[in-house]
Amino acid sequence: MLSDTYGRVATDLRVSLTDRCNLRCTYCMPEEGLRWLPRPELLTDDEIVRLVTVAVRELGVTEVRFTGGEPLLRPGLVSIVERCAALTPRPRLSLTSNGIGLERVAAALRAAGLDRVNVSLDTLDPQTFRALTRRDRHADVLRGLAAARAAGLDPVKVNAVLMPGVNDTEAPELLDWAIRHGYELRFIEQMPLDPQHGWQRDTMITAEDILRSLATRFALTPESAEARGAAPAERWTVDGGPHRVGVIASVTRPFCRTCDRTRLTADGQVRTCLFAREESDLRGALRGGADDTELAERWRTAMHGKKAGSGLDDPSFLQPQRPMSAIGG
């Protein structure tokens, strides 16, 4: 098990496959992009599969989410998914993507064993999309979402971040659109993970702001805490169901007490939290000849020291030095 001193057990592994991305979202990275990790520093396909195998067979991980950067930019993605789907016990496999290129590979990913996808889409307006992402790829994302649904990667979840003065009035429109297309919408509070360190708590769109906006058009009924479990999203049924909407309030309603995640960066570092400022190196041990038992023990040691919370409410909070693209969101 991957347990910590607060009684939490990590069963959900987030694996960053690359720090590269083909968008330049304003809340994630600067327009010119970032200095990408050198290729020799990235885990190879075999190394990723081996560490996932250790997590599943030795440490009790039951869910694996592939992230980035943009994981669809990883050339060996389909093979990695297929090899992880062949593990015993078989973990549930998912992918977080910006949707660009998903139209081309959705069917192959489903055939390889991927169970579902999360796709980021913050706006229904192509011009606003261009302003937010600095790229003209809105139609590609919509086609990727449709392809995921057609391939059976259900439920197709759509993640949206609302920004003040940009898309903050779009919540009801986004939910209406998601319901019509059979997607499950989740709003995510903007988090302080941008390398520009431009995030400001007093101007962010909060969960309460989002819910007030949605309530102007929809009747929302909260799900029970039991139904939520360790999931990061609080969920509401919409107009009596069956459709649901979620809000991940990482900043204003942190869920640290029930967190069940462990994270592996694209260069083989264990992170206990998105906001952690410390990492534990598995890549060095793996390349130094460590066997699975040693790798598992190093991972256990890293997770045992997980802090009680993210520290967002502490006046001394400092953003992680690494940007979100390197961490794996």
What's the token pair of residue 162?
């609302």
**Rounded to an integer, what distance in angstroms lies between the CA atom of residue 268 and that of residue 281?**
6
Tell me if 191 is assigned to a ligand binding site.
Answer: yes
Residues with Cβ within 8 Å of residue 86, at least 6 apart in sequence: 113
Residue 204 marked in a binding site: no
84 annotated to a ligand binding site: no
Whether 261 has a binding-site annotation, put simply, is yes
Place of tokens 């809340």: 27
Asked if residue 21 belongs to a known ligand binding site, the reply is yes
259: annotated binding-site residue? yes
SS3 category, 113: coil
Question: Cβ(80)–Cβ(86) under 8 Å?
Answer: no
Helices (H), 201-256: 207-214, 225-228
Q: Are 164 and 158 in contact (CB under 8 A)?
A: no
Q: Which pair of structure tokens corresponds to residue 289?
A: 């000849």
Residue 96, annotated as binding a ligand: yes
- Distance separating alpha carbons of residues 199 and 323, to the nearest angstrom: 13
Three-class DSSP category at 1: coil
Torsion sign across C-alpha atoms 123, 24, 145, 199: negative
Write out the binding residues for [4Fe-4S] cluster.
21, 25, 28, 256, 259, 273
Write out the binding residues.
14, 21, 25, 27-28, 65, 69, 96, 120, 157, 191, 256, 259, 261-263, 273
Write out the binding residues for S-adenosyl-L-methionine.
27, 69, 120, 191
Write out the binding residues for GTP.
14, 65, 96, 157, 261-263
